[in-house]
A and B are shown apart, each in its own frame.
Chain A
Amino acid sequence: MSNRIFLPLVIALALAVPFFTANTYFHHLMVLWMLFSLLALSLNVIIGYIGELSFGHAAFFGIGAYTAAIVGMNFGLAGIPGLLLAAVMAGLFGFVIGYVSLRIVGPQFAILTLGFGSIIYTITNYWVDLTRGPMGISNIQPLGLWGEGGVALTGARGYYYLTLFLVIAFAYACHALLNSRTGRAFIATRENAPLAASLGIDVFRIKLLGFVVATAVAGVAGAVYAHYLTVITPDVMSLQYVAALIIMVIVGGRGTIAGPIIGALIYVVLLELLRALGPLRLVIFAALLTASVIFLPGGIVSLWRRLTGEETKPREAAE
């Protein structure tokens, strides 16, 4: 099936889904799916395009969530300004942390991001005056257009459409980026950084650009999350979320656009299906990650390519 028919179909289906059921629990799961999709897509920029593993991504999600919550609480700006500020804040932290860490590659980079993530988590946990510490912030206003009053977004269905819009917009941006010259610089950097540098690509700048975009988008996701759940605690930055995001990207298929979205779906569905198992779920997720790395290194989306035989078909034949 060609993408030209397939994509509008998927989008139409995504738009129609909330009307199939009035079950708000189901709507809630859809919102979570879209939020995780947005997050996984942003982490995918780091893992899939820059080619580095970041253990600090949940921290940027948290920064966005806390920025939106605090700005909404203290200045009554629980709307688009809050979202933008969350993006700027997370992106700013991303810039500083990326500026320090991106000169280092491989496991050392991953460890550095883990360290920065823990620092941000710890500060959030202990800076009680600003963040209310482990109690978290509750009663966050619903998302309005421009601060308090006016139209406010309530109910899962509304948030579903908002997050769906954000996911489609960001997925499209990723797609456009990958097919641009800057996008090819990303791929060249991932595939062979010294070679990319020798061709005149400023490897560090490309990596920093990707990192800042990824962290800013994670910040937006965090802000929407905060307004949606109306409660946040420092736990949103915990390692559990970091692991979940990495599982979504790897199991779904890094470096692709459908992959992280499918990975997020698998995560959300499994999380609900296995709720009865309690903490044992985490073992299952870990097993899933292990199995995926061994048997499906390209992620779930590579199955599709394997089935349709696209992988082995030379490009010439397509003409």
Chain B
Amino acid sequence: MLEISDIVVRYGRREVIHNLSLTVAEGEAVTLVGSNGAGKTTTLKTISGMLRPVSGTITFDGQRIDRMEPHDIIALGVVQVPEGRLLFPDMTVYEHIELGASRARSGGLSFSERVDWVHQLFPILLERRDQKAGTMSGGQQQMLAIARGLMANPRCLMLDEPSLGLAPILVDLLEDTIRSLNETGMTVLLVEQRVDLALRLARRGYVLETGKVVLEDSAASLLSDPRVKTAYLGI
């Protein structure tokens, strides 16, 4: 469904992604792992149109999206949940949920059905409906960030470091949520520093190092790969 071939991305003159290619099939859960500065977030930002590749192509359902504006890409159903939550501290929970639907993909659930759906997924968001996002805990903020992303009615959900700074119990909850989203047919592209978690959730994984794919395999074989073990799992 999502096909990235040979993209090169630069920040100014500095090339940070070198001829990277990856594919995500419909309904699949795929993860990008790698250390800091490997280019995971940059890759996601390039897919969602926040950055433009210098060369190479990105296609979604056969349609080229690498020259499209972010709001048009979202309307196709490619939605990124940014790293570090990135909420508007002075806006309320419900305002964020509405904001997520600014350029929702048409089809599927209606706006109010999606509101009910995200409230079902994260009941705390209904409870805290009128609270300002900035006053919530990190876990609640992450749930809100995901709910906001889901309000755009995604077909392919890209999550950037969702476990960052969360208590272990919340990480478990998050894992369950992401898994169930994937099981109901949503394509998931997950960037995660916690490689163990990422490889448990995903079916396939790519290992990135300094802007290149160095390893690509099924999650199970990556988990047992000695290079991954020593470099990322610390065992």
28 residue pairs from A and B, CB less than 8 Å apart: A181-B98, A181-B99, A181-B101, A181-B102, A184-B91, A184-B95, A184-B98, A184-B99, A191-B88, A191-B90, A194-B50, A197-B70, A198-B48, A198-B50, A198-B80, A199-B74, A199-B99, A200-B74, A200-B79, A200-B102, A200-B103, A200-B104, A201-B71, A314-B131, A315-B132, A316-B130, A316-B131, A319-B130
Contacts A187-B91, A192-B88 given; indicate if A197 touches B102 (C-beta within 8 A): no
Measured between beta carbons, the chain A residues less than 8 angstroms from B45 are 198
Known: A181-B102, A195-B82, A315-B131. 14 other contacts (CB 8 A): A185-B99, A185-B102, A191-B90, A191-B91, A192-B88, A195-B86, A195-B88, A198-B70, A199-B103, A200-B71, A200-B74, A200-B79, A315-B132, A318-B130
Decide yes or no whether A310 CB sits under 8 A from chain B.
Answer: no
Measured between beta carbons, the chain A residues less than 8 angstroms from B95 are 184
Decide yes or no whether B170 CB sits under 8 A from chain A.
Answer: no
Cα distance, A181 to B98, chains bound together (Å): 7
Cα distance, A187 to B133, chains bound together (Å): 14
**6 cross-chain pairs, A with B, having the tightest CB-CB distances, nearest first:** A200-B103, A200-B74, A200-B71, A202-B71, A200-B102, A197-B70
B120 to chain A: closest CB distance in Å?
22
Decide yes or no whether A188 CB sits under 8 A from chain B.
Answer: yes
B34 to chain A: closest CB distance in Å?
21
B198 to chain A: closest CB distance in Å?
22
Measured between beta carbons, the chain A residues less than 8 angstroms from B131 are 314-316
Contact of B99 among A188, A197, A315 (CB under 8 A): A188
Measured between beta carbons, the chain B residues less than 8 angstroms from A202 are 69, 71, 103
Cα distance, A308 to B92, chains bound together (Å): 21
Interface string of B97-130 (1 = CB under 8 A from A): 0111111100000000000000000000000001
Interface size bucket, A side? 20 to 34
Measured between beta carbons, the chain B residues less than 8 angstroms from A185 are 99, 102
Chain A, residue nearest B128 (CB): A316
Measured between beta carbons, the chain A residues less than 8 angstroms from B1 are none
Decide yes or no whether B75 CB sits under 8 A from chain A.
Answer: yes
Task: Check A315–B102 contact: CB distance below 8 A.
Answer: no
Decide yes or no whether B40 CB sits under 8 A from chain A.
Answer: no
B60 to chain A: closest CB distance in Å?
15
Measured between beta carbons, the chain B residues less than 8 angstroms from A191 are 88, 90-91
Contact of B71 among A188, A194, A197 (CB under 8 A): A197
Decide yes or no whether B52 CB sits under 8 A from chain A.
Answer: no
Measured between beta carbons, the chain B residues less than 8 angstroms from A197 are 50, 70-71
**Which B residues from 118 to 157 make CB contacts under 8 A with A?**
130-132, 135, 148, 152
Chain B, residue nearest A316 (CB): B131
Task: Check A199–B100 contact: CB distance below 8 A.
Answer: yes
Cα distance, A199 to B145, chains bound together (Å): 10
**Which B residues from 61 to 103 make CB contacts under 8 A with A?**
69-71, 74-75, 79-80, 82, 86, 88, 90-92, 95, 98-103
Measured between beta carbons, the chain B residues less than 8 angstroms from A318 are 130
Interface residues in B, total, Cβ within 8 A: 30
Measured between beta carbons, the chain A residues less than 8 angstroms from B104 are 200
Interface string of B148-176 (1 = CB under 8 A from A): 10001000000000000000000000000
A191 to chain B: closest CB distance in Å?
5
Chain A, residue nearest B93 (CB): A315
Task: Check B80–A201 contact: CB distance below 8 A.
Answer: no
A179 to chain B: closest CB distance in Å?
10
Contacts A314-B131, A315-B132, A319-B130 given; indicate if A199 touches B92 (C-beta within 8 A): no
Chain B, residue nearest A202 (CB): B71
Measured between beta carbons, the chain A residues less than 8 angstroms from B79 are 200
B30 to chain A: closest CB distance in Å?
20
Cα distance, A7 to B97, chains bound together (Å): 30
B102 to chain A: closest CB distance in Å?
5
Measured between beta carbons, the chain B residues less than 8 angstroms from A201 are 71, 99, 102-103
Cα distance, A187 to B74, chains bound together (Å): 20
Measured between beta carbons, the chain B residues less than 8 angstroms from A181 are 98-99, 101-102
Task: Check B70–A315 contact: CB distance below 8 A.
Answer: no
**Which A residues from 269 to 319 make CB contacts under 8 A with B?**
314-316, 318-319
A9 to chain B: closest CB distance in Å?
27
Measured between beta carbons, the chain A residues less than 8 angstroms from B130 are 315-316, 318-319
B75 to chain A: closest CB distance in Å?
7
Interface string of B196-212 (1 = CB under 8 A from A): 00000000000000000
